[in-house]
Amino acid sequence: MTIIDNLFHSSFFVVIPVYNEEKNIGPVIERIKKYTDNIIVVDDGSQDQTYNRAEKAIGNGVILKHQINIGKGAALKTGCEAAIKLGAKIIVMMDGDGQHDSDDIPKLVTKLKNENLDIVFGSRMMDKNIPFIRASGNKIITKTVNLLSRLSLNDILSGFKALTDKTYRKIIWETQDYFVETEIAMNVGKYGLKYAQVPIKTIYKDNYKGLDVISGIKIIFKLLKFKLR
């Protein structure tokens, strides 16, 4: 199908945590199918038609469901564990809201493989279309994480990344919520893993969704607690 199929065959999986995304999850799955049928969607207790829309689109993929909303961290862990049980050697994490461009998948996976890395982070292009609160909060949190972890990343909060199965086992996170992206980065620094970042396109559909001021403050406090434990 593509260069990715030739390089990784059935060992390449995409994991998508999703919550109340009935309008977006179907198109997201269809676009990913361009690169792989190994798709795992984890519905984190959605109260709309997300599960049904995913089921219609998933094809040979897998849908898992939490009966209640636990959090993104928990959904990602459920998906990654399932991928490894199915033989995944490389896992790509993507959000289910349509903001990530599936055409960036080859960039992340090829860099991971060709440079023998542990993890590759997708770094969003910070242009004028990014909501001000998101851009400001992301900048503060990214600088804080870089300082505490000795990493050098441009976009800590990006949910688009690729990693090996061995990396997942090393950095398994404890958090169940939105802190997961930050904890992943902190663990990469903690264990001295080989990492890189690639620029990715991002489509912002909802200015009010995602990081807000309160969430950003909570992440900063969690960061300090994480570092001191």
Euclidean distance between CA atoms 119 and 130, whole angstroms: 25
Percent of the chain whose predicted confidence (pLDDT) is above 70: 84
Percent of the chain whose predicted confidence (pLDDT) is above 90: 69
DSSP string, 125-161: ---TTS-HHHHHHHHHHHHHHHHHH----S-TT---E
Residues 199-208, mean pLDDT to the nearest whole number: 72
Q: What is the pLDDT of residue 134?
A: 67
Helices (H), the chain: 3-8, 25-32, 50-57, 72-85, 105-114, 132-149, 165-171, 180-190, 213-228
Higher pLDDT, 120 or 148: 120
Instruction: Pick the closest to residue 188 from 151, 139, 135, 213 (CA basis).
Output: 151
What does each C-alpha distance from 188 to 105, 117, 147, 151, 201 come to in angstroms?
21, 12, 13, 8, 23
Q: What is the pLDDT of residue 77?
A: 98
Q: Is the pLDDT of residue 8 over 60?
A: no
Instruction: Pick the closest to residue 17 from 44, 53, 36 (CA basis).
Output: 44
pLDDT band at 203 (very low <50, low <70, confident <90, very high): confident
Most confident of 18-22, 137-141, 198-202: 18-22
Write out the CATH class of domain 3-228.
Answer: alpha beta
The answer to whether 7 touches 113, Cβ cutoff 8 Å, is yes
- Give SS3 for 122: strand
* Residue 48 tokens, joined: 């709309």
Residues 139-153, mean pLDDT to the nearest whole number: 89
**Tens-place pLDDT, residues 59-87:** 999 999 999 999 999 999 999 999 999 99
Question: pTM of the entire structure?
Answer: 0.89
Euclidean distance between CA atoms 72 and 130, whole angstroms: 22
Euclidean distance between CA atoms 26 and 47, whole angstroms: 16
Q: What is the pLDDT of residue 139?
A: 83
Burial letters 69-97, b for 16+ CB under 10 A, else e: ebbbbbbbbbbbbbbeeeebbbbbbbbbb
Q: What is the pLDDT of residue 219?
A: 78
Euclidean distance between CA atoms 16 and 28, whole angstroms: 9
pLDDT band at 22 (very low <50, low <70, confident <90, very high): very high
Q: What is the pLDDT of residue 137?
A: 74
Q: What is the pLDDT of residue 43?
A: 98
Higher pLDDT, 110 or 202: 110
Tell me which long-range contacts 217-224 makes (C-beta under 8 A, separation of at least 24).
218/179, 219/141, 219/178, 219/179, 219/182, 220/140, 220/141, 220/144, 222/175, 222/179, 222/182, 223/141, 223/144, 223/145, 223/148, 223/182, 223/186
Euclidean distance between CA atoms 122 and 119, whole angstroms: 10
